[in-house]
Structure 1
């Protein structure tokens, strides 16, 4: 079964009023489309992800925010308390996307000196504590490398049916180890499906994030794609500068692909990422063409799909046509 989320808008370049309206609109479109929820980003420069999730919960009925959680921002007890509080106040579920932080400069700002793999060790410890606090029947005592708790418990317990689904983001071996430790679903930004020919199980059981521009004809889809993401030399230069400051393996790999490929690969398009307009690849084409590409990822065993921020509600209508076609396609042998 495939779980589908969209992505909440960024607060960059928006006033508070503009962000509130945009976030509520995207949340309502996502709910109306029947998707589970939407990813809420976090980094040093964005509005707090929990404040954004609270806003969207208050303006929807069933939406499940997939909240990005960075260990440097909140203690694991505080995250568990936030989840149980949302359950108590709204009877609503919140999913978690555990992230380590990708930009080296952001880590330095917060005094973090751990290397890439150590941050995933901390992430795994963090996730285990949150899970124990939310699901354990007894107070939690934990003496670990990064955190310590002494008979800590939530005074507002979380109903079992509101237990969050847990995701971890990354593509490195350290991320895969954290995923295994937590029993989580790993999220990545996929390369073209054909690139997994030598590693056919590389995405199995995992989730991917990408954008979709699908229309009746391929020509119409590409017209919209180029209007939405025109050639942008400044954006390309900004991307190259940013790529030199990240430690995320997925970002490094995708940046190399984007710099080496200036044309779409059979509907798989990296230019929006290359031009620093978004952080994921796009699938572009007719409904049938995009459905075929999506079907290749489904054949690789993905269990979750996170769509890029929709420009308008109609975007989700068109992407859903392609997605429904893909799910009806016969599985490849």
Structure 2
């Protein structure tokens, strides 16, 4: 299976190393940022969600109008709009974009961030609500006629949407989380289950948990797996690590001042003293506590410096080293790679020039070799007596 590359965009030029400047919504920058990913060869871009962020659906519509083939992965938190309205909204966007939409379900792992939007449900109940929400969303996209639904969080009668997705049988669902509840709900519903970049052994453990959740839900085919990283590239290993330590120094200096690394207001507590509630951040901090470096090129120091506020582990090295590190994750069952840089637009272009082609070429080479082995095995198979003519 070909590997899928996802980038991430925002509506202003900002990162952990770059303070936000200019308007919160800069239409021209957003257009250039998206087109940079399209030109670099990314398959999709993630448009994030936060309680103070611009609306992701409208950002996606703007991007769709200024790109031709780039997929749109819109982050969405269940519970703030009715699932029937969400179904129509995303189906409409899928129609206008020519079938380029996917939805990334984020249940929400931090109580304070949820309360900013008026949500006071505890975490486990939020996952139960997501389960019910996705049942309705899927029915709305796939039911041939009107339907009723009576679940623990949503009740409706005689619902039917005239607008349906271009993509059949429905819009793809991505799902993020690292808790037992996430494995259960995402294992049931997700086409792609999204993880943050942990060491290989821990990632393999999570993949097994996702597959167990899918099996418990009665699925014969488990979700595909996505893993997220922050690649830091250099022409040599020394140059890459020099750049990496410069990035870390900037993050640490900014962290001492408090506040947000990525905007005017933090979505999660940030900085080395942060104590995040969400399991994904806790797991990244646990990996960072064990060691700064893991496996071929994984570097956890940025996660420690930011309190693992978001996907914050890096892969450091030459393009060849980082490509091989990404392929190590492909080897354990990962098919989607979400990568974004600390110099967001410039890094996206660099990844397209130097990193994506190396990974894709090797995946294609492996697929050709496997096809050749299978063909040779068929030719070498003995002819049974019953098959003789």
Please say whether Structure 1 and Structure 2 have the same fold, judged by a TM-score greater than 0.5. Answer: yes
1:316 alignment counterpart = 352
Displacement, 1:196? 4.9
Deviations 1:108-137 (A, max 9, x none): 233423222221111121112111111211
CA–CA separation in structure 2 for the residues paired with 1:127 and 1:236? 37
2:279 alignment counterpart = 249
Displacement, 1:183? 4.4
User: What root-mean-square deviation, in Å, do the aligned CA atoms of Structure 1 and Structure 2 show?
Assistant: 2.8
Larger Rg: 2
Change (3 A) 1:311 1:222: farther
TM-score under structure 2 length normalisation: 0.76
1:82 alignment counterpart = 89
CA–CA separation in structure 1 for the residues paired with 2:145 and 2:301? 51
1:27·1:60 contact (CA, 8 Å) conserved in 2? yes
Change (3 A) 1:88 1:232: closer
2:338 alignment counterpart = 306
Residue 209 of structure 2 corresponds to residue 177 of structure 1: no
CA–CA separation in structure 2 for the residues paired with 1:179 and 1:18? 32
- Work out the number of aligned pairs and report it: 330
1:73 alignment counterpart = 80
Q: Unpaired segments of 5 or more residues in structure 1?
A: none
Change (3 A) 1:20 1:150: same
CA–CA separation in structure 1 for the residues paired with 2:302 and 2:26? 22
1:225 to 244, 247, 252: 244
248-257 or 153-162, which moves further after superposition? Answer: 153-162
TM-score under structure 1 length normalisation: 0.87
Residue 134 of structure 2 corresponds to residue 133 of structure 1: no
Residue 153 of structure 2 corresponds to residue 146 of structure 1: yes
Displacement, 1:50? 1.0
2:99·2:167 contact (CA, 8 Å) conserved in 1? no
CA–CA separation in structure 2 for the residues paired with 1:219 and 1:325? 25
Q: Unpaired segments of 5 or more residues in structure 2?
A: 15-19, 212-223, 259-269, 368-389
CA–CA separation in structure 1 for the residues paired with 2:361 and 2:298? 18
2:174 to 167, 173, 178: 167
Change (3 A) 1:28 1:38: same
